[in-house]
Amino acid sequence: MKNILIIGAGRSSSALIRYIYKEAVKHHWQITVTDQQLSLAEEKTRDFDGIITAALDVADTAQRQKLVSSADVIISMLPPSLHINLAHDCLILGKHLLTASYVSPAMQKLHEEAKQKGLLFVNEAGLDPGIDHLSAMKIIDSVKQKRGRVHSFKSFCGGLVAPQSDTNPWGYKFTWNPRNVVLAGQGTVQYIIDGQYKYIPFHKVFAHTEQVHIPGYGDFEAYPNRDSLSYRSVYNLQEIPTMLRGTLRRPGYCKGWQLLVQLGLTEDSYTLEGSSRMTYREFLNAYLPHKPDISILDNLASYTGQEKESEAIKLLQWLGLFEDTAIGLANATPAQILQQLLEEKWKLQPEDKDMIVMQHLIGYTIGEDEYLCTSSLVVEGEDATYTAMALTVGLPLGIIAKLLMQDRIQARGVVVPVTPEFYEPVLDELAQMGIQFKETEQEISSVK
C-alpha cells in the first residue's frame, strides 16, 4: 500500500488532510499524520478513519527517518528552517518531498542530487508562494503562445477577514501568525516600475501603497513586498520593465501601520527598560519628543505630521495606545508589546471567517496592440478549521501529492511549480473546488 506522510498538523494542515483523505480512500493509499504534539495530529484526523497518527520530534533523526522510510511522498508543513533535514532524509531514503516554503539556498543545492536519484522536491506549493506561481505562469505562458510580450507584472495577495467578519476600523484581524504580521515589511523593499528601480526603506514601505479593486469585494490597498526583483528570473521575465508584488489590506490599514512603524513600535531588536511597569500610554510616549507642555495627542500629531482627527491617529486611539492600561510584560521588545495589544484587539472570534484575496495585473503587447489581463481570486473560509488560508495553502500541496502518487508529474530535482504539468491540473482541480480566478482581458488604446 502506498503511503503519504504529512509532518506537522497545525492550522494550515486541516484542508490538506481532508483532501488527501478523500483521495486516499479512492486510491487505497495509507496516510500518516505526525506532529510534535500527538494530540494535534489526533484532533486533525478525528473525522477520518484509518489515518495513522504519531508523535514526532523532528530533531530525532532515527525516528524521523523511520517514518520517512515507510512513506512514498512526504509533505512537510514544518516551519521553513526544518525542511532541510527532511530533504536530506528523502535523498538518503529515495522519497519525494513537498513544501509550501520558499526554496532556501541549502535546499537549492540538493537539486542535482535529487534529480539524479529521480526524486522530486517541490517547494513554494502553497498559496503565496504557490497559487500565485501557478496562476501567473498560466497567463504568462498563454501570452507567449500568442507571440505577445509581457511588459508589466503586478501581483497582490492578502490574508484578511471575510466581509461579514470585518467589524473593526482596521479592517483586519489575525487569521495567521501574529508575529509575522507585526514584523512584516522589515528590510528594504526592491521593485522595478517602467524600467526604474525602486528601493524603499522599511520606515517608508507602508506609505507606498497602490489601490486595488476586486469586483464584488470592493477596494483594497497593497504595500510592496520586500523582494519583487527576484521574480523576474522565477517567471522568466528577465527584461520586464515593471515587476511589483505586494500585500493586500483594507483601505486605511497602511496609514495606521505606517504611523506605528514611523514611531518605532514594530522594532524587535531591543527590550524596553522597565516595560513591566509601563502603561500603553507611557509606551507610546517613549517614542515621542519630550514636550511636557502639550498633550500626547498634540505631540503625536505634530511629530508625525498628521491632523489630530486623521484616520491614522484614530486607528491608534482605537487600539488603546493612549490608555493608561498596564502592559505587564517584562523585558519586552516594542514589537512584543504591540503584538500583545493587537492580539487582544484583532482577535478572530469563533464565528469569524477569513478570506484570501489575490490579484494579478499583467500588461502585455501583441504586435501594436496593448492589453491588460486582470485575474482575481477570492476565497472565503468555511469555518474556523477549514479557513481560506488552510484551503489555499493545503489544497495545492494535496493535489500535487496526488499527481505525484499517480506518476503524473515528470519534473525531478528541486522545483518550483511554474510549468504546465503543475499549473494545468492543479488550477483545474482547484477550480472544481471553487477556488477559481476570474479573468478579464482589456484592450488598452494607446501603445507605450
Q: Which stretch binds its own copies (CB under 8 A): 11-19, 61-69, 282-290, 363-371?
A: 282-290
From residue 200 to residue 229, what is the string marking binding to its own copies with x (rule CB under 8 A)? xx-xx---x--------------------x
**Contact call for residue 268 and its own copies (CB under 8 A):** no
**Which stretch, 199-207, 321-329, 361-369, 428-436, contacts its own copies (CB under 8 A)?**
199-207
Query: 367: buried, middle or exposed (CB in 10 Å: 19+, 13-18, 0-12)?
Result: exposed
CB within 8 A of 280, min separation 6: which ones?
Answer: 320, 321, 322, 323, 324, 325, 327, 337, 341
Q: Nearer Cβ to its own copies, position 287 or 371?
A: 287
Nine-digit cell string for 232: 523576474
- Contacting residues for 15 by C-beta, under 8 A, at least 6 apart: 386, 387, 390, 391, 393, 394, 395, 398
CB-nearer residue toward its own copies: 91 or 193: 193
Which of the residues 166 through 195 are near its own copies (CB under 8 A)? Answer: 187-188, 190, 193-194
The C-alpha atoms of residue 63 and residue 70 are separated, in whole angstroms, by 11
- All 3 cell numbers of residue 288? 515621542
The CA distance from 98 to 426, in Å, is 14
Sequence-ordered list of residues with C-beta below 8 angstroms from that of 340, at least 6 positions apart, any chain: 327, 329, 332
Only one of the segments 161-169, 211-219, 288-296, 362-370 lies at the binding site for its own copies (rule: CB under 8 A); that segment is 288-296
Backbone phi and psi for residue 125, each to the nearest 5 degrees, phi listed first: -115, 35
Q: Interface mask (CB under 8 A) for its own copies, residues 297-336, using x and -?
A: --------x----------------------------x--
Q: CA distances (Å), 213 to each of 154, 375, 392, in order?
A: 13, 11, 21
Which one among 166, 267, 429, 439 touches its own copies, defined by CB under 8 A? 267
For residue 168, how far is the Cα from the chain centroid?
22
Name the CA radius of gyration of the chain, rounded.
23
43 binds its own copies (CB under 8 A): no
Residue 157, helix vs strand vs coil: strand
Q: Applying CB under 8 A, which of residues 264, 328, 367, 420 lies at the interface with its own copies?
A: 264
101 binds its own copies (CB under 8 A): no
Task: Please identify which residue in 112, 219, 273, 343 interacts with its own copies, judged by CB under 8 A.
Answer: 273
> Near its own copies by CB under 8 A, which window of 37-45, 89-97, 281-289, 346-354?
281-289
Contact pick of 137, 263, 312, 404 for its own copies (by CB under 8 A): 263
Candidate list 105, 199, 238, 351; residue touching its own copies; CB under 8 A: 199
94 binds its own copies (CB under 8 A): no
Per CB under 8 A, which region of 248-256, 266-274, 311-319, 379-387 contacts its own copies? 266-274
**How far is the C-alpha of 22 from the C-alpha of 396, rounded, in Å?**
15
Query: Under the criterion CB under 8 A, does residue 82 sit at the interface with its own copies?
Result: no
Q: Which residue has the cell 505586494?
A: 246
Q: Which residues contact its own copies by CB under 8 A?
A: 187-188, 190, 193-194, 196-201, 203-204, 208, 229, 262-264, 267, 269-270, 272-274, 282, 285-287, 289-290, 292, 305, 334
